[in-house]
Structure 1
Amino acid sequence: MKPTSCPLNTARGVFIAGTDTGVGKTVFACALLRAYAARGLRAVGMKPVAAGIAPGSACNADVAALAAASNVDAPLDARNPFAFAPAIAPHLAAAEAGVAIDLVRIREAYKLIAARADRVVVEGAGGVCVPLGPRHDMLDVALTLSLPVVLVVGMQLGCLNHALLSAHAIRARGLALVGWVGNLVDPEMARIEENLAALDQRLPARRIATLGWGHADARIWGAGAAVLEIV
């Protein structure tokens, strides 16, 4: 299937992308869901593709966190259409399971969820160009769902290159990069403020939030209101 951009419904959605795995996409997505709920909006989280399910668990930990932060219920197979047990790259997990990650199925799941909500927060897996199969990658999900993108940058050594390349990839696909988030994943990082300033200067979108180490609540955002105005 060739990814296509088309209106799906009246719910406003946003795609949370990351510069890498483990940079705080879920932390930000959950905080955003709670912020929407605090404003009286029906908000639900979705993770179309997830790899890594602990033995005895019903779903991936990120999927469970998104569900806990949502105030709208939806079937698990809609909130997470493609789930794989091994914590490996999605295209490898799908190949091992003999499954093709289908963008049409993801789009239909999104439509079902969005019909129940005012806001849908869709979290990607890994970085922006993580393969889903022979022809598609994570950005094809955002393109298929016609969603604007917020990029979560894990503030650590190497983040400048990772962030700039990720932003370039997002815009090269014709997607709207509406903001970025600095997540202080390395509390020992040197020159944090200087690195944030460098990204402020170079990224083609405004910084809408900075998350401190260990903080997972929208109440700590200095720019919380600005986040909701943009996404």
Structure 2
Amino acid sequence: MSKCLLCLRVSMQSSFHLPQEIPAASRGACLVSGLGSGDGEQEATLALLHVLRREGLRVAAMTPVISDARRVGGRWISPLLSELCQASSFLDLPVQALCPYLLRNGIYHESAGGGDGRVQIRPIAETFAALSMWSDAVVVKGMDGLSKRLGARLSTCDVASRLALPLVICLRHGPSIQSRLSQALKQARRRDIAVVGWIATGCDPSVVTVLEELSQGAGLHCLGAITKVPRSELELIYGLNLDVIYRRLRLRSTTTNRLACH
């Protein structure tokens, strides 16, 4: 499977054209991003991967850029990417299939597709398109916030806009959560990015009512809450509202149960 994905990605490089061939708002696809590095993008992405896979969907993970890559024995490894891969339906994919750009010691190394190492949209779009062909859903993890610059002319927000990816906002719970939610919404709406909903991370279960009130005030769906330091897959997905996630990602639910945070 991994060789097929990589071969498909390479073969697409000569024929993939932007933006016409990017599938607009692909069913089941989304980009997960907060406003900064502490908002729990990894946690929220893992939670969505786990909950969709538990429903029997073929779900893939990817990210445009990863920051913890290193080369060992002639191959790239990344603990963060390995964690995403293990939560997906494709457990044996190499890092090159999940992320076109690897960051080590502050220097970008393009792991596939050639080029001069500058972060560009084309390899990211090709990675997404290849994974989409094998998956019912693709969950794309952002990198350190919507406004994070991935390259001279590319931000996380740009990736969502160019790939027509609906946005799942994730924000660490705290005193400024309301203003930060408003800020994230403004950033998305300025670029006409569809917002699926939002996930609160680092929560105490007692704040669920407050989160629902925040969501109503913002006119936004609350997809759930991830409690502080989840120690297992079940704890990670416990607070997610499966019904809302399926409806907002335009997926056909195979269950009527809710993983509600009550």
1:81 and 2:100 matched: yes
Residue 132 of structure 1 aligns to a residue whose secondary structure is strand
Which residue does the alignment assign to 2:119?
Answer: 101
Which residue does the alignment assign to 1:211?
Answer: 226
Matching residue's letter, 2:229: G
Which whole-Å CA distance do the structure 2 matches of 1:46 and 1:5 have between them? 21
Instruction: Trace 1:86-165 onto structure 2 (pairs within 5 A).
Output: 86=105, 93-94=107-108, 99-165=117-183
Residue 66 of structure 1 aligns to a residue whose secondary structure is helix
1:16 and 2:32 matched: yes
Flag the 1:112–1:55 CA change in 2: closer, same or farther, 3 A: closer
Matching residue's letter, 2:79: A
Which residue does the alignment assign to 1:200?
Answer: 215
Instruction: Trace 1:11-50 onto structure 2 (pairs within 5 A).
Output: 12-50=28-66
**C-alpha contact (below 8 Å) 1:6/1:145 kept by paired residues:** no
**C-alpha contact (below 8 Å) 1:18/1:153 kept by paired residues:** yes
Which 10-residue stretch deviates more, 154-163 or 55-64? 55-64
Which whole-Å CA distance do the structure 2 matches of 1:205 and 1:119 have between them? 22
Residue 12 of structure 1 aligns to a residue whose secondary structure is coil
**C-alpha contact (below 8 Å) 2:224/2:239 kept by paired residues:** yes
Cα deviation, 1:54-108, whole Å, max 9, x if unaligned, reads 685943332111101011254421301111013x6xxxx449xx72101011101
Flag the 1:6–1:168 CA change in 2: closer, same or farther, 3 A: farther
Residue 49 of structure 2 aligns to a residue whose secondary structure is helix
**C-alpha contact (below 8 Å) 2:208/2:225 kept by paired residues:** no
Count, aligned residues: 218
Matching residue's letter, 2:48: L
Residue 29 of structure 1 aligns to a residue whose secondary structure is helix
**C-alpha contact (below 8 Å) 1:46/1:121 kept by paired residues:** yes
Which fold has the larger relative contact order, with Cα–Cα distance below 8 Å and residues 6 or more apart in sequence? 1
Residue 115 of structure 1 aligns to a residue whose secondary structure is helix
Cα deviation, 1:140-165, whole Å, max 9, x if unaligned, reads 11112211111001112433332211
Q: Which has the larger radius of gyration?
A: 2
Which whole-Å CA distance do the structure 1 matches of 2:121 and 2:218 have between them? 29
Which whole-Å CA distance do the structure 1 matches of 2:101 and 2:202 have between them? 29
Q: Give the deviation of 1:26 after TM superposition.
A: 1.3
- Structure 2's unaligned 5+ residue stretches are 1-17, 110-115, 250-262
Q: Give the deviation of 1:196 after TM superposition.
A: 2.9
- Structure 1's unaligned 5+ residue stretches are none
Q: Give the deviation of 1:135 after TM superposition.
A: 2.0
Which whole-Å CA distance do the structure 2 matches of 1:175 and 1:126 have between them? 18
Matching residue's letter, 1:40: G
Instruction: Give me the TM-score of the superposition, normalised by structure 1.
Output: 0.82
Matching residue's letter, 2:103: F
Cα deviation, 1:176-215, whole Å, max 9, x if unaligned, reads 0110011126x6xxx9568635632443421111111122
**C-alpha contact (below 8 Å) 1:131/1:138 kept by paired residues:** yes
Flag the 1:44–1:159 CA change in 2: closer, same or farther, 3 A: same
Flag the 1:207–1:118 CA change in 2: closer, same or farther, 3 A: same
Matching residue's letter, 1:53: A
**C-alpha contact (below 8 Å) 1:11/1:117 kept by paired residues:** no
* RMSD of aligned Cα (Å): 2.8
Instruction: Give me the TM-score of the superposition, normalised by structure 2.
Output: 0.73
